[in-house]
Structure 1
Amino acid sequence: MPRTWTGTGGWSLAYARDRLKLETDGTVEELVGTEASRVRVARRWLEHGLVVASADGMPALRLAGLDPRDAREIRAAVTRIVTRTKLRDALALAAHREQVFHRLLETRVRKQRWIAHDDAVAILAGLPHHADLLATLTPDERAALPRHLSAAEQRALAFLAQDHLARVGAANEEILRRELIAGRDFFAGVERSPLTVEQARAVVSHDNRVRVIAAAGSGKTSVMVARAAYAIRRGLTTPDRILMLAFNADAARELQERVDARIGALGLRADGLRAATFHSFGLSLIAEATGRRPRIAPWVEDGKDVEKVQAIVDRLRDTDLDFRFRWDLFRLLYGKASGSAENGDHDSYDPDTQVSGFATYRGETVRSEGERLVADWLFLNGVDYRYAHPYPHNVADRVHGRYTADFYYPAADVWHEHWALGADGTAPFRGYAEAMAWKRRVHATHGTALVETAWHAIQDHSGFEAFARDLERHGITLDWNPDRPLPGADPLEHERLARLVRTFMSHVKAGALTRAALQERLATMPALDTPRTRLFLDLYWRIHERWQDELDAADAVDFDDMLLRAAELVERDPGLARWDLVMVDEFQDSSRARARLTKALLRDRGTHLLAVGDDWQAINRFAGADLSVMTGFSAYFGPALTRRLQTTFRTTQNVADVASRFVSRNPAQLTKTVRAARGPGGAPVTVVRVERHDALPAAIEAHLQRLSGGPGATVDVLGRYGFDRKLVPATAPPGLDVRFRTVHRSKGLEADHVILPNVTTGRYGFPSTIPDDPVLALAMSADDGYRHAEERRLFYVALTRARHTVTVFTVAGRESPFVLELLEDPGVEVRGTDGGTEEIRVCAGCGEGTLVRRSGRHGEFYGCSTFPRCRETAWV
Structure 2
Amino acid sequence: MPQTWTGRSGWTLTREGGGLTLTADGATTRFEGPAASRIRVAWWWTGRCLVIEAGDDAPRTRLAGLRLRDAGAVATAVARIVTRATLRDALLVAAEREGYFERLLETRVRKQRWIAHDDAATILAELPRHDDVLAQLSAAQREDLDAHLSPAERKALSFLAQDHLARVSAANDEILRRELTVGRPFFDRVERSPLSEEQARAVISHDNRVRVIAAAGSGKTSVMVARAAYAIRRGFVRPDRILMLAFNADAAKELQERVETRLGALGLPRDGLRIATFHSFGLALIGEATGRKPRIAPWVEGGRDVEKVQEIVDRLRDQDLDFRFKWDLFRLLYGKVSATADGGEPDSYDPATKVSGFETYRGETVRSEGERLVADWLFLHGVDYRYEQPYAHDVADATHGQYRPDFYYPAVDAWHEHWAVRADGSVVEDFRGYRDAMTWKRKVHATHGTSLVETEWHSIIDHSGFEALAVDLEGHGLTLDWNPDRTLPGAEPLEHERLARLMRTFMSHIKSGSLTRESLRERVAAHPEWDTARTRLFVDLYWRIHEAWQGELDATRTVDFDDMLLRAAELVERDPGLARWDLVMVDEFQDTSRARARLTKALLAGQGKHLLAVGDDWQAINRFAGADLSLMTGFGAYFGPALTRRLQTTFRTTQTTADVAGRFVSRNPAQVTKAVHASRGPGGAPVRIVRVGRHDAVAGAVEAHLRRLAASSSGTVDVLGRYGFDKNLMPAARIDGLDVRFRTVHRSKGLEADHIVLPNVTSGRYGFPSTIEDDPVLTLAMSDDDGFRHSEERRLLYVALTRARRTVTLVTVAGRESPFILELIDDPDVEVVDADGTPIGEVRACPGCGEGTLVARSGPHGEFLGCSTFPRCRQTVRV
Q: Could you say which TM-score interval applies, normalised by the shorter chain?
A: over 0.9
Q: Which residue of 2 aligns with 1:314?
A: 314
Distance in structure 2 (CA, Å) of the matches to 1:339 and 1:708: 46
**Secondary structure in structure 2 of the residue aligned to 1:62:** strand
**From 827, 847, 857, the counterpart of 1:825:** 827
Q: Which moved more, 1:574-583 or 1:763-772?
A: 763-772
**From 786, 789, 807, the counterpart of 2:788:** 786
Structure 1 residue 253 corresponds to structure 2 residue 253: yes
Q: Which residue of 2 aligns with 1:845?
A: 848
- Offset at 1:445? 2.6
- Offset at 1:464? 2.5
Q: AA paired with 2:607? A: R
Distance in structure 2 (CA, Å) of the matches to 1:36 and 1:673: 63
CA contact (8 A) 1:211 1:643 kept: yes
Q: Which residue of 2 aligns with 1:855?
A: 858
Distance in structure 2 (CA, Å) of the matches to 1:567 and 1:341: 40
Structure 1 residue 715 corresponds to structure 2 residue 722: no
CA contact (8 A) 1:341 1:369 kept: no
- Offset at 1:217? 0.4
Q: Which moved more, 1:105-114 or 1:612-621?
A: 105-114
Shift in CA distance, 345/525, structure 1 to aligned 2, threshold 3 Å: farther
- State, as a whole percentage, how many aligned pairs show the same letter: 74
CA contact (8 A) 1:685 1:806 kept: yes
Q: Which moved more, 1:836-845 or 1:282-291?
A: 836-845
Distance in structure 2 (CA, Å) of the matches to 1:62 and 1:540: 83
- Offset at 1:55? 3.0
Distance in structure 1 (CA, Å) of the matches to 2:459 and 2:154: 75
What is the correspondence of 1:28-177 to structure 2 with a 5 Å cutoff?
Answer: 28-44=28-44, 46-177=46-177
Distance in structure 2 (CA, Å) of the matches to 1:558 and 1:825: 45
What is the correspondence of 1:751-766 to structure 2 with a 5 Å cutoff?
Answer: 751-766=753-768
Distance in structure 2 (CA, Å) of the matches to 1:563 and 1:857: 65
Q: AA paired with 2:836? A: D
CA contact (8 A) 1:54 1:61 kept: yes
Structure 1 residue 773 corresponds to structure 2 residue 775: yes
Q: Which residue of 2 aligns with 1:495?
A: 497
Q: Which moved more, 1:505-514 or 1:421-430?
A: 421-430
CA contact (8 A) 2:339 2:775 kept: no
Q: Which residue of 2 aligns with 1:468?
A: 470
Q: Which residue of 2 aligns with 1:806?
A: 808
Distance in structure 2 (CA, Å) of the matches to 1:105 and 1:435: 79
CA contact (8 A) 2:343 2:370 kept: no
Structure 1 residue 277 corresponds to structure 2 residue 304: no
- Offset at 1:403? 0.9
TM-score normalised by the chain length of structure 1: 0.98
Shift in CA distance, 852/427, structure 1 to aligned 2, threshold 3 Å: closer
Q: Which residue of 2 aligns with 1:549?
A: 551
| Cα RMSD after superposing both structures | 1.5
Distance in structure 2 (CA, Å) of the matches to 1:679 and 1:584: 30
**Secondary structure in structure 2 of the residue aligned to 1:717:** strand
CA contact (8 A) 1:339 1:532 kept: no
Q: AA paired with 1:842? A: A
What is the correspondence of 1:444-523 to structure 2 with a 5 Å cutoff?
Answer: 444-523=446-525
**From 865, 868, 871, the counterpart of 1:868:** 871
Q: AA paired with 1:212? A: V
**Secondary structure in structure 2 of the residue aligned to 1:193:** coil
- Offset at 1:79? 0.7
1:482-531 CA-to-partner distances (Å, cap 9, x unmatched) read 01010000001111111111101100111111122222222232332221
- Offset at 1:427? 4.0
Q: Which moved more, 1:395-404 or 1:222-231?
A: 395-404
Q: AA paired with 1:383? A: V
Q: Which moved more, 1:769-778 or 1:87-96?
A: 87-96
CA contact (8 A) 1:689 1:812 kept: yes
Distance in structure 2 (CA, Å) of the matches to 1:576 and 1:339: 45
Distance in structure 2 (CA, Å) of the matches to 1:413 and 1:165: 80
Distance in structure 2 (CA, Å) of the matches to 1:334 and 1:270: 57
Structure 1 residue 692 corresponds to structure 2 residue 694: yes
Q: Which residue of 1 aligns with 2:746?
A: 744
- Offset at 1:757? 0.8
CA contact (8 A) 1:41 1:50 kept: yes
What is the correspondence of 1:182-221 to structure 2 with a 5 Å cutoff?
Answer: 182-221=182-221
**Secondary structure in structure 2 of the residue aligned to 1:404:** coil
Q: Which moved more, 1:142-151 or 1:213-222?
A: 142-151
Q: Which residue of 1 aligns with 2:338?
A: 338
Distance in structure 2 (CA, Å) of the matches to 1:267 and 1:111: 23
- Offset at 1:389? 0.7
Distance in structure 1 (CA, Å) of the matches to 2:470 and 2:714: 69
1:195-219 CA-to-partner distances (Å, cap 9, x unmatched) read 1111111111111111111010010
Q: Which moved more, 1:405-414 or 1:519-528?
A: 519-528
**Secondary structure in structure 2 of the residue aligned to 1:40:** strand
Distance in structure 1 (CA, Å) of the matches to 2:479 and 2:89: 89
**Secondary structure in structure 2 of the residue aligned to 1:294:** coil
- Offset at 1:425? 4.1
Q: Which moved more, 1:836-845 or 1:442-451?
A: 442-451
Distance in structure 2 (CA, Å) of the matches to 1:766 and 1:338: 20
- Offset at 1:733? 1.7
Q: Which moved more, 1:825-834 or 1:240-249?
A: 825-834
Q: AA paired with 2:502? A: L
Q: AA paired with 1:69? A: R
Distance in structure 1 (CA, Å) of the matches to 2:744 and 2:319: 39
Shift in CA distance, 224/36, structure 1 to aligned 2, threshold 3 Å: same
Shift in CA distance, 46/730, structure 1 to aligned 2, threshold 3 Å: farther
Q: Which residue of 2 aligns with 1:387?
A: 387
**Secondary structure in structure 2 of the residue aligned to 1:405:** coil
User: How many correspondences in the alignment?
Assistant: 876
CA contact (8 A) 2:464 2:533 kept: no
- Offset at 1:643? 0.8
- Offset at 1:401? 2.2
Distance in structure 2 (CA, Å) of the matches to 1:299 and 1:362: 38
Structure 1 residue 267 corresponds to structure 2 residue 267: yes
1:773-813 CA-to-partner distances (Å, cap 9, x unmatched) read 00111111111111111111111101100000111111111
CA contact (8 A) 1:339 1:459 kept: no
CA contact (8 A) 1:854 1:863 kept: yes
- Offset at 1:120? 1.1
Distance in structure 1 (CA, Å) of the matches to 2:291 and 2:804: 48
Q: Which residue of 2 aligns with 1:372?
A: 372
Q: Which residue of 2 aligns with 1:646?
A: 648
Distance in structure 2 (CA, Å) of the matches to 1:534 and 1:33: 67
Shift in CA distance, 340/617, structure 1 to aligned 2, threshold 3 Å: closer
Unmatched 5+ stretches in structure 2: none
Q: Which moved more, 1:399-408 or 1:360-369?
A: 399-408
CA contact (8 A) 2:755 2:806 kept: yes
Q: Which residue of 2 aligns with 1:634?
A: 636
1:393-431 CA-to-partner distances (Å, cap 9, x unmatched) read 111233332111111122222222222333344444564
CA contact (8 A) 1:849 1:864 kept: yes
1:217-260 CA-to-partner distances (Å, cap 9, x unmatched) read 01000110111111111111111110000010010111111101
Q: AA paired with 1:830? A: V
**Secondary structure in structure 1 of the residue aligned to 2:406:** strand
Q: Which moved more, 1:575-584 or 1:228-237?
A: 228-237
Distance in structure 1 (CA, Å) of the matches to 2:597 and 2:250: 21
Q: Which moved more, 1:441-450 or 1:515-524?
A: 441-450
CA contact (8 A) 1:342 1:368 kept: no
- Offset at 1:126? 0.8
1:831-855 CA-to-partner distances (Å, cap 9, x unmatched) read 1222222221122222222111112
CA contact (8 A) 1:761 1:767 kept: yes
Distance in structure 2 (CA, Å) of the matches to 1:346 and 1:538: 30
CA contact (8 A) 1:53 1:61 kept: yes
**Secondary structure in structure 2 of the residue aligned to 1:561:** helix
**Secondary structure in structure 1 of the residue aligned to 2:845:** coil
Q: AA paired with 1:625? A: A
**Secondary structure in structure 2 of the residue aligned to 1:30:** strand
Q: Which moved more, 1:446-455 or 1:786-795?
A: 446-455
